[in-house]
Amino acid sequence: MTQESRELALASSTSDRPLSTGTNSTTCRRIHFVNANLPEELQEDRRWSKQMLPALLMWAGSFADPWAIPDLELMTALRIITTSLVSDFDSHAVRPGTPTFVLATRRLGLWRSNFGSTAIALIAHFLASDPDDDARSATAVRQTCNELIDGPLSFLYQDLDATNPAHAYRSHFILQLFAHAHLRPCIGCPDIPGLGTNAMKKYAVRGALSLCTAALERAIWLFQRGEVQVDDQMSTHGMRATAKTPLKLNKVSGKESSSALAFSEQNWGTSTRDYHASISKHNNAAMSEIVAMAHTLIIPSTETLDDGSSPGDLMDEFYFAVNTDLRQSICEILCTL
């Protein structure tokens, strides 16, 4: 048994607090730590929010299965990050049940969730930007979604051209979501050789890209099936997309619930892993090109998010517009399919 495994087992057997059983667990959320509970060294100069969380998300985006990151690997990564940025930091202070571990787990959950909410906002804004009065009718929305998702999954491809494999994962939709749900919150990630962040910044992003594709498929599927409506997703203030959580009636309880339609491991884990298998067939050079294309879409900002942000705050921070020219160019392509 390694030292890290021994410490993880010891923490699990001696802590009087409930521990996580993985980053997709809800257990850690019962412990209501805030940033003020972190060790002082991590709070100094907002180091936790500005450097450590961006590094954590960059690392998570390289995972083959970002839905299920083992506690041991998370603990090891956090120790590498903290000791790289604070040389005299006691790495043994990072283990399940501690503020550092719990807040990191919470931020990873928010990071994954934001792919789902941002994808809905993106598709809603795209559908709402058509000036045609009939464009938001159920029939028109279904037809547009059919053209994006049915058959060869054209929504994945640059210019929606599914006949060219080299164009996969380069659509406007993929690049926008990838830029705002992953690359932007990773702004500020320092170079940490122990994690290999240099490679992650350039091309090791297949986990994050697989979340993008699964989230977009879900968003289009929700509008296609009428589970969400375009008008319900748009704010009255400037027609801004708000990404309201879709609800579905639970026939057993008779109550509306978000779990059946949620962007979660249970609902979309298999699709995410299938997309990762496909993305892994593209070499590092192709990944580097996708990263470079997405970087041009990031809205400049000097701030990164801390782990106390709400999904609504995230949507405000990551808000972007799908302009008329983009809508027109995509629609012209759809008409030729």
Q: Kindly tell me if the per-residue pLDDT of 24 is higher than 80.
A: no
Q: Kindly tell me if the per-residue pLDDT of 107 is higher than 50.
A: yes
Using 50, 70 and 90 to split pLDDT, how confident is the model at 231? confident
Q: Kindly tell me if the per-residue pLDDT of 248 is higher than 50.
A: yes
State whether 41 and 84 are in the same domain: yes
State whether 208 and 125 are in the same domain: yes
Q: Which residue has the tokens 């993106």?
A: 122
Range of the domain at 55: 3-106
Distance in angstroms (rounded) separating the CA atoms of residues 337 and 75? 48
Using 50, 70 and 90 to split pLDDT, how confident is the model at 194? very high
State whether 234 and 298 are in the same domain: yes
Which of 20-24, 91-95, 198-202 is the least confident region? 20-24
Using 50, 70 and 90 to split pLDDT, how confident is the model at 334? low
The pair of three-digit structure tokens given for residue 190, joined into one six-digit string: 């320092």
What is the average pLDDT across 285-310? 73
Among 106, 124, 149, which residue terminates a domain? Answer: 106
Which amino acid belongs to residue 173?
F
**Neighbouring C-beta atoms of residue 23, cutoff 10 Å:** 25
State whether 44 and 137 are in the same domain: no
Q: Which of 207, 226, 233 is nearest to 119 (CA)?
A: 233
State whether 131 and 203 are in the same domain: yes
Which amino acid belongs to residue 294?
A
Greater model confidence, 63 or 6: 63
- The pTM assigned to this predicted structure is 0.81
Burial of 317 (0-12, 13-18, 19+ CB in 10 A): middle
Q: Kindly tell me if the per-residue pLDDT of 268 is higher than 80.
A: yes
The tens digit of pLDDT for each residue in 300-328 reads 544 444 444 444 444 444 444 444 444 55
Residue 128's pLDDT is what?
A: 84
Among 106, 122, 138, which residue terminates a domain? Answer: 106
Residue 260's pLDDT is what?
A: 83
Q: On the CB side of 55, how many CA atoms lie within 13 Å of its CA? A: 25
E strand or H helix that includes residue 112: helix 99-128
Residue 318 DSSP one-character state: T
Residue 241's pLDDT is what?
A: 47
CA distance readout (Å), 69 to 15, 63, 75: 21, 8, 10
Using 50, 70 and 90 to split pLDDT, how confident is the model at 284? very high
Q: Kindly tell me if the per-residue pLDDT of 330 is higher than 70.
A: no
Which amino acid belongs to residue 178?
F
Query: How many structural domains compose the chain?
Result: 2
The tens digit of pLDDT for each residue in 154-183 reads 999 998 888 889 999 999 999 999 999 999
Contact of 24 with 159, CB cutoff 8 Å: no
State whether 137 and 184 are in the same domain: yes
Contact of 77 with 56, CB cutoff 8 Å: yes
Among 106, 129, 149, which residue terminates a domain? Answer: 106
Are β-strands 256-257 and 248-249 bridged in parallel, bridged antiparallel, or unpaired?
Answer: antiparallel
What is the average pLDDT across 42-47? 94
State whether 131 and 214 are in the same domain: yes
State whether 100 and 217 are in the same domain: no
